Amino acid sequence: MAEAPAPYDVVIIGGGPGGYNAAIRAGQLGLKVACVEMRATLGGTCLNVGCMPSKALLHASELWDAANGEFAKIGIEVSPKLNLRQMHKAKDESVTALTKGIEFLFKKNKVDWIKGKGKIAGHSAAGGGKVEVTAADGSVQTLEAKNIVIATGSEPTPLPGVAFEDGKVIDSTGALSLPAVPRKLIVVGAGIIGLELGSVWRRLGAEVTVVEFLDRITPGMDTEVATAFQRTLTKQGMSFKLGAKVTGAKSDKDGVELTVEPSAGGAPEKIKGDVVLVAIGRRPYTEGLGLETIGVTPDKRGFIDHNHFKVAGQVNEGGVWVIGDVTHGPMLAHKAEEDAVAAIDIIAGKYGHVDYALVPSVVYTAPEVAWVGQTEDQLKAAGVAYKKGKFPFMANSRAKINHETDGFVKVLADAATDKVLGVHIMGPQAGEMIHEAAIAMSFGGASEDIARTCHAHPTRSEAVRQAAMDVEGWAMQV
C-alpha cells in the first residue's frame, strides 16, 4: 500500500456535478486538490447516465415527433425513418465530449484525477484525514488530506418486491439504452425522471402507462400546474394510474406482469408491459464510504447531516465535508454545484452560502415545466396572504405563431409587500425562462419590478411579464 508523498489540501470523493465543480473551484483558489472517481469517466450520474443523455434523447424524440406531425402543418413534407441505433450513437458521442471536457478542466486547474473507489480511512495524526483508493486492478493507495469532501451522489431507489431484470425491469440508466422501442412501457413513479423518460419512448412509439402511489403526479410541483401538466401529457397519449402501488412483478418471454393495488387498499389487478421502468426516486450513495471510521451514521433516509457543509458528529471535529445528493436539499445537479462552490470557498477561508429556497426545478418534457420559490399549496399551508397573476401561452404571440400554446405562467407575490414568493411556468422553454424569476427573487424583487421591465417582442418570456402584470390586474394581452 503506497502512501501519498504529500498531503492534499482537499481530496474529493466523487466526480459528479458536485465533485468535479468542487475540484475545479479548489484548483482556481490555488489549493492542492485530488478528485477520486470510480467510474472510467468523470461527470457522475448526471453526465454519464442521467441529465445529459436523457436530454439528448428528449431533444431527438421531440424532433422525431415534429417530423411526424408539426412539419407537415407548416409546409415541410418529409418521410422520416427512425434509426434508434444512430440516435443512441449521437447521444453517446455528446456524453463523451462532455466528460472529456471535464478532463480538460481538471488539467487546466491542476486537479489530480485519482481513478478508483474512495473510502474514508479515519483521521490522520496531523489532524486531517485519509482516503483509501482501490483501483480497478485491485491496487490500493492512501491519500492524506487536510480536508475531505464527500460528493458521492445518489442511486436509483429499488422497489420492494420488484427485482431489476436486464431489458425488462429497468432503472433510469436502462431506459437510456433500450435497443428497441417497447410496444408497451409501464413507468412506476410519476416524478420528473419517470415522466421525462416516459415521454421519450411515448414519442418514439411506445404505449406508456404511468403508475403512481400518490393521487397526483410530480409531488413538489404546484398542484394547479401539476393538474394542467397531467392533462397535457394525457392529451399527448400518456395514460395514468394514480393512487396505486405495485406489490409484485413476474416476467416471462412476453414481458412483465405487475400486480397493482389501490394505495388506500382494495382488490389487486394485473397489468402487463414489454418493459417496466422503475423511477420512484433516488437515495444517497454511501456504500463502503467508511463513515464509521469518523464516527458518523447517516440518518434514517440515508442522508449525511452537516453544519455549513462540515459533516455533523464526526470525531475530533475533523475536516470532512459533504455536498450534493448525499446530503439534504433538492437532489439536483445544479444544487450540487452550488454546494460545491460554497463548501470549497469556506475551506479556503472565504464566504460560502446556498439559498435553497431559490433552487429552480425543471421538467424537460414538451412542454417544459419549471418553478422557483414557493407553491400555492405551501403558502396556503403557512397561512401567508398572497396575490396571484396568471398568463396563458395561448395569448403569447411567439408561442401562438410557433404552435406551442399549452401552459401558462403563474406569479405569486406577498399581498402586503408585493415581494415575489414563487413563479411557476408550464410552457415552451420554461427551463430557460425561470431564471428571470430566480434573479428577481434573489434581489428581493416585487412582481411590479418584473412587470415594469421591458421585454423584447415577440418572445415567450413576455408571458412572464404579463403574469407579473396580472398580479395587480393589468395584464394587457388577455
Running along the chain, 478 residues long, what does each successive block of 10 average in pLDDT? 70 98 98 97 96 97 97 96 98 97 98 98 77 97 96 96 94 97 98 98 98 97 98 98 96 94 95 97 96 94 96 86 97 98 97 97 98 98 98 98 97 98 98 98 98 98 98 91
Interatomic CA distance for residues 194 and 199, integer angstroms: 8
Active site residue 403: no
How far from chain centre, in Å, is Cα 157? 14
pLDDT of residue 125: 60
Interatomic CA distance for residues 406 and 400, integer angstroms: 9
pTM of the model: 0.96
Beta-strand ranges (E) seen in 183-225 are: 184-188, 207-212
pLDDT of residue 128: 77
Tell whether the torsion through CA atoms of 69, 70, 74 and 76 is positive or negative: negative
Catalytic residue, chosen from 59, 435, 455, 457, is 457
pLDDT of residue 126: 60
Contacts of 477 (CB under 8 A, 6+ apart): 391, 395, 396, 397, 462, 466
Contacts of 75 (CB under 8 A, 6+ apart): none
